[in-house]
Each structure stands twice: as C-alpha cells, then as structure tokens.
A and B are shown apart, each in its own frame.
Chain A
Amino acid sequence: MKVVILDERCVGHGMCRLACPEMFELSDEDGHAYVTSETVPPDLEAAVDQAVRGCPEQAIVVEA
C-alpha cells in the first residue's frame, strides 16, 4: 500500500498523526502533514486507513 498527502487540501488538523504517528509527521513551519515514507508497511495499514477516515479535508490518498 502507498500513501500520499494532497498538499493543496491538507490544512493541518493533525488527526492523521493521532491515528498513525509512525507514518505522519507535522511540519514545524505550518503544521501541515507529510509522510515519513510513501510505502506503508503491512502492520501499519489499518492505522493509515484510520487516518484516511479521520481527515476532515480528504487530503490523504492511499493506493493498493
């Protein structure tokens, strides 16, 4: 599974980090999210899925 953040949608709610701190970091500049790696390890797939469902801006996209 791969994950990307759509920068033009992300406004920094930080819910993704709450769901999966291993995969999502928040920038020290503006609080927007970035991923620590595009590839999601299998054991984090469920947490990344929660991040997708928890993002109010629909800014997180995953591909199988």
Chain B
Amino acid sequence: MDSQEDLKRCPVDFDHESRTHASNWPTEFRELRGKCPVAWTEKHGGYWVATRYQDVVAMAQDDATFSSFKTFDPHSGEVTGGITIPATPIPRGLPVESDRPDWNMFRTYLNRRFAPKAAEARRAKVRKYADSLLNRVIETGEIDLVNEFTGPVPAMTTMELMGLPLEEWREFADPLHEMVFTPKEAPEYPHVIAGVQWIFKRCIETFHQRKTEPLGDDLLSYFAHEKIDGRAVTEEEMLSFCNNIITGGVDTTTALTTHALVYLNEHPEDYRRLQEEPKLLPVAREEFVRFFTPIHGLARNVSRDVEMDGAKMEKGDRVYLAWSAANRDPEVFTDPETVDIARFPNRHIAFGAGMHRCIGSFMARVMFEEMMHVVMVRIPDYRTHPDRARRYTSVGTINGWVDMPTSFTPGPKIETGLVL
C-alpha cells in the first residue's frame, strides 16, 4: 500500500449516486456509521463520506476548515469546490457556495425576505395555489400527486416569490422536477436543460425590467433595487441567488410532501391521529423531514489538513456530509429507522447545520402544512399507488419520486379566484 492509501483510512466501495445506494442506502449507512464513520471512496475522483451525526454537525459548523466555495470558468468548463459530488459545470449558487466573509454579506442581504414572518405572510397564497391545482382534477377522482400537486405548489410559490408570471407555472415546474431525475445520458436530457436555461433567461429579463419600475414586493425587484454592501447587485450574483433559491426550494419540498402522503396512506393509524390532532402536524412534519431527508447529503472542501473521527483528511480533499445518515444515527435518535410522528424533541439536521442551514426552511414548512391541509380536508380518502410510481434512480442529491398515481372520491371545486 502506498502512503497515499495509508492516509485514506477505511476504503469502501461506495457511490452515493449509484442505483445500489438508492435501493439500499439505510443499510449501507448503518454499516458505515458503525465501522467507518468517516470512510474513503475512490468514486468521482475520490471523496470522504461522513455518516455519524456528531461528525456531520461538527464539520458543517467548522466552515473555515470545510469550505463550500466554488469557482466555475464558463470558457474552459473547469470547476473547483462547491457542494456537489461530482462537481457540476454551472455557475455557483449563492449564498450556499460561498465562505465567510462574503457569505455574511449575501446571507444578511437575503435573510429578511425568508424569515418566519415573511414566510408566514405567504401562507394564504400557498393555500390558494394548492386549492386551485386540486380544482383542476377534483371532479375526476385521479391525480398524479407529484406532477399535478406537490411539484407545482412549490414551483408556483417560488415564482410568486421571485416575481415571475404564474401563467408559466408548467414551463417552470416541469424542468425543475425533470432536471433532478433525468440521467445525463438520456435522450431527453438536452431538452430538460434547455427548459432550465429558459427559466434563468426569464429571471434575467425580469431583473432588468424591474430596474425600470418602482421597488415592488418580489425578489427580482429587491435584487434590482436594494444595494448590497453599498453597491448594486450584479447580474451574475442575481443569477446565483436565483439558482440557489429555485433549486434549493422546489423539488425538495415536493419530495418531502410526497413521501409524507405515501407514508400516511400506508399507516392509517398515524393518518387518523393527525386528523384528530391537527396540532401534532408541526411535530410530525419535523419527523417526516428527518426520516425522509429530501437533501440526502452535500459536499464540503477540506481547506487544511485535519483529523476527523480517526480519518486524516488532507487539504484539497472532498467530503460528503450525509445528512440522511446523520438523521438515523442511533446515538442521537431512539429507534431511528422508524417514523414516530410524535417524536419530540427532534434535533434532525435535514435542513443542514452551521451557518449554511436552510434559509428557506420556514417557507418549506408553510408549503408542506398547506399542501397537507388541502389534501386532508378535500380528498381525505386519497389512495397513493407507489407500486405504479417511479422512484428516482439516484438519491445522492434529492431523494424523491418521479410520479405518484393517486385516486380519491371525486369532490366539488371551490372558489379560489384563480383558474389554472
């Protein structure tokens, strides 16, 4: 064994993007956590995998050692750093792919727009989108839960937040969902990417248009008018904000809500309990976020030699922080592999930990609650059919469903003031 391999303790055959991992991840993580809590795999150019709660939190909190900073050269396509393994040849997301002190500036600039009060103020609109989407199908008794409900509600909420026209919700929702599960070699991949690029083009157009209008309530208007650090937001920064907000917020909330609805269908006693005790919903929500951990894991870049749980990490190494593995660590959670909708306290880290912790978590919580409420009230006897549905073939970034055929007793439309 050469010295390089001596250093990379605990070599394992592991790839968070593989199909084996997608179908077998709880077992793979259980084994790693016990035997090799910080393990080394040669896949994707080599990276560490951290699976213990304590280690994942420590690394996420030590942002000086474990950097998120990314560079991308559009001419050569060369990428360094960032939070995805493998690295993606697109411009960085902000604030997520920045380090202090720049991160402070970006995050402070955005915080107010995502704080609990700002998220709460959007609740009525989220309800309206959910009710209007259900109106489209309520008389038929059938819905593809993912493509007609749990996907579009976050997409429309995000569009409204950004200031993009709601009529384009289909053009917005579809590529953002397809992008997450379409393999790069698939024939339809270029079409999906073109759809995503179109969304960013709409952001650029709207950003420039907002500059000619008075300051409004939407984010693109905020970016066009509100100075950052005493100067105007650049087009590049604006796109990086949009990238982070759109990709961070849309398919994640979709996955969470779909998983929860499937789970409740399979566990009628829990479903009944939630119907009888609606006050339990926020507690159950956190348990669903823990158990399903929509963002499976994200990467960091080691900026100095450091030892972590026995692993000698070197400057320049990459490490995958498996939020999903940490959230099932038996040292922290009793009976971690089962859902307990009344589990409390619940210190899961599905929204991350340390300074990059999800800025959109309050928005996500509002969207989840409103979608659940609308389903439980208007189609209470819904039946999901996971046997006819497709899972993502890779869960490495987002763990979700491609579609979810669902049936229910037809019901009446209700007035929402919005026809879709």
A→B interface (CB under 8 Å)? 11-15, 18-19, 26-31, 50-51, 53-57
Contacts and interface: CB of A to CB of B under 8 A. Distances in A.
A15 B346 contact: yes
Nearest to B359: A31
B345 A53 contact: yes
Nearest to B61: A57
B111 A11 contact: no
Contacts of A13: 347, 351, 357, 361
Contacts of A56: 57, 347-349, 353
Contact of A29 (B111, B286, B347, B354): B111
Interface stretch (B112-120, B197-205, B212-220): B112-120
A57 B344 contact: no
Contacts of A50: 344-345
B362 A31 contact: yes
Contacts of A14: 116, 361-362
Nearest to B365: A14
A15 B112 contact: no
B116 A55 contact: no
A38 to B, nearest CB: 21
Interface residues of B, number: 27
Contacts, number: 63
Nearest to B110: A30
A57 B357 CA distance: 11
Nearest to B345: A54
B355 to A, nearest CB: 6
B10 interface: no
B283 interface: yes
B346 A54 contact: yes
B405 interface: no
B108 interface: yes
Contacts of A31: 111, 114-116, 359, 362
A49 to B, nearest CB: 9
A15 B286 CA distance: 9
Nearest to B349: A56
B357 A29 contact: no
Interface in B195-249: none
B282 interface: yes
